[in-house]
Amino acid sequence: MDITVVWAAIIALGLFMYIVLDGFDLGIGMIFPFFPAEDERDMMMHSIAPVWDGNETWLVLGGAALFAAFPMVYSVALSGLYLPIIFMLVCLIFRGVSFEVRGKARRTKNLWNLSFICGSAGAAFFQGVILGAYLHGIPVKDGVFSGDPFFWVTPFSFFTGMGLMVTYALQGATYLVMKTGGEFQARIRTLVWPLTLALLGFIIAVSVWTPLTDAQVASRWFDSTFRYRLYPVPILVAITAVLMYAALKRRAEAAPFVLCLVLILLGYIGLLVSIWPYAIPNSVTLWDAAAPRSSQMFAIVGAVIIIPIICVYTTAGYWVFRGKVEPGSQYH
């Protein structure tokens, strides 16, 4: 058993679970402006209020696992991406406070609405910026960050930031289709297909942009083995898009959310395949960045214990608060 690969899989799982679970509640914040009525906004908030904070556990797990198994990547990423990470955390703080204060506020309710919208959009954008900077490679020399503190300020990073915002907005819209009903659900449904098309556009653009601007990535595209690994992904993306259109036509409720997650999974698989076997693309492999085997074996004991616990309480939370959110329902 290659414990380094196991740890890479744990981190990949943690990040994917964060995207799946926290993505839709960030997305709900971004589509807030389309629904100015306070009773509708209350219903949107109540649909995620019982579960939103637990969703962020997976982000903490991913960061802790990175520190335990790949400390060099942790130090390089934190040094190079310190500013966008701080900006993301500040946005998450404002968004979290707005959850609790908005429900009690009267005169300042609009201020907390704005905090929720900007916090959600900002967190999504800076997560995408971090992803874009990571994909293009973080400057490393002798195991430490060697670039400019603003190396992440590039058109590609900002583009991936906007792409992740669209991804989360689609998740939020499809989640509300599943959790609500009536005229409000019908209005939410009208957002899903335009957001799906926008997401497909971002997927295509990033897939083309990356090899065109990175010589090492472009050279890998001429490797037949690499191409064969990626060939099924665009075909499956196209099939999923067709199924999404059909699900919206027949007014399905849960299917659009599931298909949205399938689109995200396919994009995530394509990303992982394209950067394998690097921990920092095009410069540091997983094995070069890994902690000593003894450290990884010691830490895996904690992972084996904590991951099932997180899965159990996350599942329990969603089970308890399953079903649709009705107008006028209260959480606080």
Count of domains observed in the chain:
1
> Which CATH number goes with the domain that contains 172?
1.20.1630
Establish if 326 belongs to a structural domain. no
Establish if 327 belongs to a structural domain. no
Establish if 90 belongs to a structural domain. yes
Q: Output the pTM of the full model.
A: 0.89
Nearest Cα to 73, choosing from 145, 152, 2, 131?
A: 145
Query: Chain centroid to CA 86: how far?
Result: 17
Range of the domain at 119: 3-320
d(CA 141, CA 25): 38
Establish if 325 belongs to a structural domain. no
Q: Which ranges of 214-328 does DSSP label H, i.e. alpha helix?
A: 215-221, 224-230, 232-249, 255-275, 286-289, 293-320
Establish if 22 belongs to a structural domain. yes
Q: Which residues contact 125 (CB under 8 A, 6 or more apart)?
A: 161, 162, 164, 165
Establish if 91 belongs to a structural domain. yes
Establish if 153 belongs to a structural domain. yes
> Tens digit of pLDDT per residue, the chain (332 long)?
688 999 999 999 988 998 988 888 899 999 988 888 888 888 888 888 888 777 778 888 888 888 888 988 888 888 889 999 999 999 999 888 888 888 777 888 888 889 999 999 999 999 999 998 888 888 888 878 888 888 899 898 999 999 999 999 999 999 999 988 888 888 999 999 999 999 999 888 887 776 666 555 555 555 555 556 667 888 888 999 999 999 999 988 889 999 999 999 988 888 888 788 888 887 888 888 888 898 889 989 988 998 999 889 888 888 888 888 876 665 54
Establish if 331 belongs to a structural domain. no
